[in-house]
Amino acid sequence: MRFVPCGLVAATVVLVLGLSSAARADDFMKECTVTASQKMCECMSARLPADKRGDAVQGLRKSNASVSVSGNLLDPGTLSQSQMQGLNAVVLAQAYCM
């Protein structure tokens, strides 16, 4: 059996969690800047609740894809409930940042 110091394990967990949230932030910025300015997206990103970020990214991806393929706005009926809640969080953040 090998002994691993608790501090090393804790540091690894913090590093992994930090990277995953940073990656989600990058995904949000990537999708957001398709239709909004960098400055607006940074403001919105700062206001977006962490628990809604992943769903917001998925919703934005679907919205961006819909507009780029058909030129039409996204049909809300194609979103899951969590994706709709994620997009609602984006709209609230956007209203704050205007």
What residue numbers bound the domain in which 17 lies? 6-97
H/E element holding 32? Answer: helix 6-32
Q: Within a domain: residue 58?
A: yes
Answer whether residue 1 is part of any domain: no
Q: How many domains does the chain have?
A: 1
**Is there a domain that residue 92 lies in?**
yes
Note the pTM of the prediction, 2 decimals: 0.71
Q: Which of 1-10, 29-38, 41-50, 87-96 has the lowest mean pLDDT?
A: 1-10
| Residue 86 falls inside a structural domain | yes
Q: How many helices (H) and strands (E) would you count in the chain?
A: 4, 0
Any domain includes 63: yes
Residues 27-72 have pLDDT tens digits of: 999 999 999 999 999 999 999 999 999 999 999 999 999 888 778 8
Q: What does the alpha-carbon distance between residue 83 and residue 98 come to, in Å, rounded to a whole number?
A: 23
All residues at 6 or more sequence positions from 50 whose CB lies less than 8 Å from its CB, including other chains: 21
If one compares 72 and 10, the residue with the highest pLDDT of the two is: 72
83, 92 contact by CB (below 8 A): no
Distance CA 77, CA 25 (A): 26
What per-residue confidence (pLDDT) applies to 70?
A: 76
**Is there a contact between 23 and 57 (Cβ–Cβ < 8 Å)?**
no
Q: Residue for token digits 């709709």?
A: 84
